[in-house]
Structure 1
């Protein structure tokens, strides 16, 4: 009987500790999970990132953005991975992360803002764009004027 009680207590401790680990998910774990899903299915990855967001950038719905992103992903050729280009934090609860998503025909930028109101990080905003080449060229022009 005592052995059964010890076993029940052990199982409860394991369950409680696994729940607290999930609640302390890091931003890196969220992004890693996103890109694992993205490699298999950009649509699943998009849904994962969008789970807590209903509206993005004003009136644009997640469904409209999803259609645009999936169209761009299908037109860009082979997916070659990603790399982090920017990480900025405000305090310990707000973080901006920006990534290059590398394709055969073009590069796409994903920028996410994550927020931790209590003990769990969540994505509160994100967007994709392909204007980074233009920005890079403009920054080169500005630097040549100095």
Structure 2
């Protein structure tokens, strides 16, 4: 009986230590991505949209340069129309797997909010931006979600 208790105790310790290692790795990965996002927003706040986009896509060499320039132009004009930047708030984080993570942020401007969506992918040992999108539809989606037919 005493031997069984020791056996279960050893298994419990092994299980708890493996959970701790996994949660520490996950936390470190989340911090790595959050640092990338924070630096992106620092550059965006300084009205340097072009530099912010370059920094974000610097980790992914598979992106077409003309697409990046188009993204820079659209984000720059969207920022001008939305007014002065006043900060950002995280809307959600979704993890499809340990190698694919989605972040959504509400970016606060004087005139209207803009939603930024970041998707990060880790094909080997380094996180890279996989997709970046922005839009000004978050208010319309919020209104739509409050309609009666969604409440049933």
Which range, TM-score by smaller chain? 0.7 to 0.9
Name the larger-Rg structure: 2
Q: 1:53-72 counterparts in 2 under 5 A?
A: 54-55=63-64, 61-72=67-78
Distance in 1 (alpha carbons) for counterparts of 2:57 and 2:149: 37
> 2:38 maps to which residue?
32
TM-score (normalizing by structure 1):
0.74
Structure 1 gaps, min length 5: 1-23
> In the alignment, which of 77, 92, 95 is matched to residue 98 of structure 2?
92
Q: Which has the higher helix share?
A: 2
Q: Figure out how many residues of one structure are paired with residues of the other and give that number.
A: 120
Greater relative contact order (Cα < 8 A, sep 6+):
1
The superposition leaves residues 101-142 of structure 1 with CA deviations (integer Å, 9 ceiling, x where unpaired) of: 100001000001101122211101110100111111110004
Change in 2 beyond 3 A, CA 1:55/1:141: farther
Structure 1 stretches of at least 4 aligned residues deviating more than 4 Å after TM superposition = 142-145
Q: 1:38-117 counterparts in 2 under 5 A?
A: 38-40=44-46, 41-51=48-58, 52=60, 54-55=63-64, 61-117=67-123
How much is the aligned-residue C-alpha RMSD, in angstroms?
A: 2.1
